[in-house]
Amino acid sequence: MKKQLIFQLGTDSWQRLGELASGSGVIHEAHHNAFNAIPNIAAYSAYPSATLSFTDPQVSVLALPHDAPAYGSDTTGSPFHYHGLSSAEFEICKQRLKASTARALESAEEREGTQVDLAIAHHSFINLIILSELNAERVALGKNRFKLMYFANGKALKMFAHEMRSVNTEYPSGFYPLLKQSGLFAKNSPVDLYAATSKEQLAVFSSIFPDFETQRMLVTHNGYAADCFKPNLAVRERKESISDALVVPKGPLEISPTEMGQVKEKVVVFCGNFGDWKRLDLLLQAASIYERRANITTLIIGSGSREATGYYHRLAFQQLGLLDTWFLGAKKQPDIARINALADVGVYPSLNESSGLIFKEAMACGTPVIGSDSGLPRSFVSDAVGALVPESDPKLFVPMLAKVVLKALDEDWKTHKGPVAAAYAASSYSLKRQCEQLLGRVLATGQYQHAIAGSTPISETAPQPRYSTGSVRRLATSNQP
């Protein structure tokens, strides 16, 4: 059987050379490794960076003279935002990335002695534009047309939704008209498959680009790295001394703790970026209720812009006076896995969570999870593995969240629900299965057709989009000191 050549273009750095990665970078790297583990597949990848440089024949770092531009509500701290670029600056950025991507594509084809069969644009809309233009140019030169897939990104969809409704000055209209004019999501689109992680995400996409054909859409739930995220009894058994291995980075305030205190008997963990939609503020408010008990520690994994980090530290330490909450900063996947294994419960109160990967990673470590009754977690968080807090009354969400956390700790969900969560994650969210599903759908080769049975195509009765058009937390109007 002919070897299939895949090329993936990403947005964010991977966890290489000590650099921390965002969720989109983690997913891109995981797919790269999973594709290469499948027989008769050769996968190559590229992503932009201003700092990284290393030698890997199957991974190209697209050098930039500046940080990779970010979307609005940035959580990476990048000083460059797409909406802050002029039309000329955007075109320069696009052409620079396009030229580097073209060289990476040519290198992959030369090394493998065959042409690319499938190109995947990960997360950023600019990646899809670049790959589409390169595809048209190669056809004009007599080369093959590769299949083109767009792996959806929730932040990009929110950006387009904000632009359409003109309700948020952070997202002035610009890129939504650009995508409309490009025809990438029109009838007879050059995009062969649009893959998203939830039906709700696809419903949002359909409301923004209604002309894109539904038969080209697919729901594919993110798989996790099973070799990294798994139960770890050794870590669990030495909980009392784990504080020695946890480092608290310097916070933005004088009042921010600088040394890790003793981890208490019960541990609550949060992992995620500091974007509004992750609603870390609601967890901190809940912690001010459940931490009235003296035996609970809350560990916060993640990072964000200086503005967002300052906001959460002020809320936690100045306003709420939390004494057993620790901001650990961004962590590498092995560190996150160890902390997940240590924790008694993972709490992720995101509004309309569109990925759910952090839930699955915690579950895989044998840790029950608590989330919001919205978005993707509805499809896999049951009473057997955790709980979802209703969104019916915003004023009641925080006390209800605190109540559920205390219930999880009092009833020892870690012992009773943790093993079920680990077994469910292992059996249902394999990266290999997800990647075979994608190949079976877009390449339509018999070798992968068995995986299509596990896929979920969009239907005419998809749920209505539920993304909020306003920020959960508006820093610009906050009365916080």
pLDDT in tens, 64-102: 777 666 665 544 555 667 777 788 888 888 898 999 999
Q: How far apart are CA 214 and CA 207, in angstroms?
A: 12
Q: Are residues 212 and 243 in the same domain?
A: no
Q: Are residues 38 and 115 in the same domain?
A: yes
Higher pLDDT, 281 or 1: 281
Q: What does the mean pLDDT of the chain come to? A: 80
172-213: pLDDT as tens digits = 667 888 888 889 999 889 999 898 877 778 888 898 899 999
Assign 118 a pLDDT band (cuts: 50, 70, 90).
Answer: very high
Q: Are residues 322 and 437 in the same domain?
A: no
Beta carbons of 114 and 5 less than 8 angstroms apart: yes
pLDDT at position 419:
94
Q: How far apart are CA 256 and CA 327, in angstroms?
A: 9
Q: Are residues 167 and 262 in the same domain?
A: no
The predicted model gives 456-463 an average pLDDT of 34
Q: Are residues 36 and 134 in the same domain?
A: yes
Pairing of strands 386-389, 369-372: parallel
Inside any domain, residue 274: yes
pLDDT at position 343:
93
Number of domains in the chain: 2
314-355: pLDDT as tens digits = 999 999 999 889 898 888 888 899 899 999 999 999 887 877
Beta carbons of 132 and 184 less than 8 angstroms apart: yes
For residue 272, which phi and psi values (nearest 5 degrees)? 165, 165
Q: Flag the least confident range among 36-50, 246-260, 380-394.
A: 246-260
Inside any domain, residue 460: no
Domain containing residue 375: CATH number: 3.40.50.2000
Inside any domain, residue 62: yes
pLDDT at position 460:
29
Domain range for 265 is: 233-427
Q: Are residues 176 and 32 in the same domain?
A: yes
Q: Give the position of tokens 């140019």.
A: 137
Q: Are residues 265 and 376 in the same domain?
A: yes
pLDDT at position 16:
60
Q: Are residues 64 and 100 in the same domain?
A: yes
Inside any domain, residue 469: no
pLDDT at position 269:
95
- Alpha carbon 420 to its chain's center: 24
Q: For residue 140, is pLDDT > 90? A: yes
Q: How far apart are CA 62 and CA 105, in angstroms?
A: 12
Inside any domain, residue 475: no
Q: Are residues 198 and 275 in the same domain?
A: no
Inside any domain, residue 25: yes
Angle at 296 between CA 479 and CA 356, to 5 degrees: 70
399-425: pLDDT as tens digits = 999 999 999 999 999 999 999 999 999
254-311: pLDDT as tens digits = 667 666 667 788 999 999 888 888 999 999 999 999 998 878 999 999 888 888 888 9
Q: Are residues 202 and 86 in the same domain?
A: yes
Q: How far apart are CA 116 and CA 450, in angstroms?
A: 23
Q: How far apart are CA 197 and CA 329, in angstroms?
A: 26
Q: Are residues 249 and 187 in the same domain?
A: no
- Of all residues in the chain, the percent with pLDDT exceeding 90 is 36
Inside any domain, residue 277: yes
Q: Are residues 153 and 240 in the same domain?
A: no
The predicted model gives 129-135 an average pLDDT of 95
Inside any domain, residue 476: no
- Three-state SS across the chain? CCCEEEEEECCCCCCCCCCCCCHHHHHHHHHHHHHHCCCCEEEEEEEEECCCCCCCCCEEEEECCCCCCECCCCCCCCCCEHHHCCHHHHHHHHHHHHHHHHHHHHHHHHHHCCCCCEEEEECCHHHHHHHHHHHHHHHHCCCCCCEEEEECCHHHHHHHHHHHHCCCCCCCCCHHHHHHHHCCCCCCCCCCEEEECCHHHHHHHHHHCCCCCHHHEEECCCCECCCCCCCCHHHHHCHHHHHHHCCCCCCCCCCCCCCCCCCCCEEEEEECCCCHHHCHHHHHHHHHHHCCCCCEEEEEECCCCHHHHHHHHHHHHHHCCCCCEEEEECCCHHHHHHHHHHCCEEEECCCCCCCCHHHHHHHHCCCCEEEECCCHHHHCCCCCCEEEECCCCHHHHHHHHHHHHHHHHHCCHHHHCHHHHHHHHHHHCEHHHHHHHHHHHHCCCHHHHHHHHHCECCCCCCCCCCCCCCCCCCHHHCCCC
The top-scoring range by mean pLDDT among 161-165, 227-231, 236-240 is 227-231
Q: For residue 463, is pLDDT > 60? A: no
pLDDT at position 250:
66
Q: How far apart are CA 471 and CA 277, in angstroms?
A: 7
Q: For residue 135, is pLDDT > 90? A: yes
pLDDT at position 335:
87
The predicted model gives 234-241 an average pLDDT of 64
pLDDT at position 22:
67
Q: How far apart are CA 438 and CA 150, in angstroms?
A: 11
